[in-house]
């Protein structure tokens, strides 16, 4: 059985790591490079770096920040924010990224997913999906959760996979920052309809929440930010808990 992955996330704004609740009320969480170094040394399986205002500000991800992080980490490193072309991806890979994450640009131009998969390999392409549930229906959002995209979660996930996504990163906007657990029902449905790895995001508050994401939600990886940034728990504590519960992880 493949080991489940624990992935800390750096949401970056103006060169600083920030964290909010439901994508709002962002507050400072620390220096990007310091956090990246700490997570790489603490046993994180991967690291995700999201330039969270790039799409909204209609600009590319700041390459300088990516390069600084890439210099200090020894684990796979995914970068997202403002990516809209093969040229953008090539620049990020040259600066040290291992994978890229697309969201807003893929919704605007779904064909981008296939072009990136063709040019750089499917394993390089992560499609991030931010969604909110209303009356049992999940609506996808773009531009950092600011704009409804007119797409339904499960339909969009199927299309993204068919077009060449190598992984799906699903964030429940309703659970984001709540520390009340992941959206396990939605995760399970996404996992059951998909043949590619699924990363859970939004809602981690304790090691037990990761266990639920992997068992009830059938996720392949779980991403978290605030509980790691602010010291509520550590990556090692989460992994030890999971191992004691019979979940395969890398220690």
Higher pLDDT, 64 or 120: 120
Is residue 251 a part of any domain in this protein?
A: no
CATH of the domain at 162: 3.20.20.70
Is residue 171 a part of any domain in this protein?
A: yes
Task: Characterize 55-79 residue by residue with b for buried, 16 or more Cβ atoms within 10 angstroms of its Cβ, and e for exposed.
Answer: bbeeebbbbebbebbbebbebebbb
Distance between CA atoms of residues 180 and 224, nearest Å: 12
- Supply the pLDDT for residue 234: 94
The set of catalytic residues is 11, 130
- Closest C-alpha among 122, 69, 132 to residue 97: 69
**Which tokens sit at 206?**
């304790």
Is residue 222 a part of any domain in this protein?
A: yes
Residue 117's domain comprises 5-244
- Closest C-alpha among 243, 181, 173, 251 to residue 216: 181
Distance between CA atoms of residues 97 and 137, nearest Å: 35
Q: Quickly state the pLDDT bin for 25 (edges 50, 70, 90).
A: very low
Query: φ and ψ at 154, to 5 degrees?
Result: -70, -35
Distance between CA atoms of residues 127 and 115, nearest Å: 13
Q: Quickly state the pLDDT bin for 57 (edges 50, 70, 90).
A: low
When divided into structural domains, the chain yields a total of 1
In the predicted structure, residue 242 carries a pLDDT above the cut 70: yes
pLDDT in tens, 140-168: 999 888 899 999 999 999 999 999 999 99
Distance between CA atoms of residues 243 and 238, nearest Å: 9
pLDDT in tens, 162-186: 999 999 999 999 998 788 999 999 9
Is residue 250 a part of any domain in this protein?
A: no
Distance between CA atoms of residues 144 and 250, nearest Å: 31
According to DSSP, the residues that pair with 138 across neighbouring strands are 133
Task: Characterize 224-245 residue by residue with b for buried, 16 or more Cβ atoms within 10 angstroms of its Cβ, and e for exposed.
Answer: bbbbbbeeebbbeebbebbeee
How deeply is 2 buried, as exposed, middle or buried, from its count of CB atoms within 10 A (0-12, 13-18, 19+)?
exposed
Contacts 24+ apart (CB under 8 A), 233-237: 233/206, 233/207, 234/42, 235/6, 235/8, 235/39, 235/42, 235/43, 235/44, 236/42, 236/43, 237/207
Q: Kindly report the average pLDDT of the chain as a whole number.
A: 90
Is residue 249 a part of any domain in this protein?
A: no
């Amino acid at each position: 059985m493949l080991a489940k992955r624990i992935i800390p996330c750096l949401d970056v704004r103006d060169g600083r790591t920030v964290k909010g609740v439901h994508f709002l009320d962002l507050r400072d969480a620390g220096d990007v490079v310091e956090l990246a170094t700490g997570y790489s040394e603490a046993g994180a399986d991967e690291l995700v770096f999201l330039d969270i205002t790039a799409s909204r500000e209609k600009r590319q991800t700041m390459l300088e920040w990516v390069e600084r992080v890439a210099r200090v980490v020894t684990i796979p490193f995914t970068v997202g924010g403002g990516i809209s072309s093969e040229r953008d991806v090539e620049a990020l890979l040259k600066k040290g990224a291992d994978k890229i994450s697309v969201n807003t640009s893929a919704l605007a131009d779904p064909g981008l997913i296939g072009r990136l998969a063709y040019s750089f390999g499917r394993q390089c392409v992560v499609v991030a999906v931010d969604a909110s549930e209303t009356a049992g229906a999940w609506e996808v959002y773009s531009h950092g959760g600011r704009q409804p995209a007119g797409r339904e979660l499960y339909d969009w996930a199927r299309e993204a996979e068919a077009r060449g996504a190598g992984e799906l990163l699903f964030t429940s906007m309703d659970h984001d920052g709540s520390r009340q657990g992941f959206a396990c029902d939605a995760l399970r449905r996404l996992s059951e309809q998909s043949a590619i790895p699924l990363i859970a995001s939004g809602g981690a508050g304790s090691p037990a929440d990761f266990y639920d994401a992997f068992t009830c939600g059938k996720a392949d990886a779980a991403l978290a930010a605030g509980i790691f940034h602010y010291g509520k728990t550590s990556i090692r504590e989460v992994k030890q808990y999971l191992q004691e519960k019979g979940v395969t992880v890398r220690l």
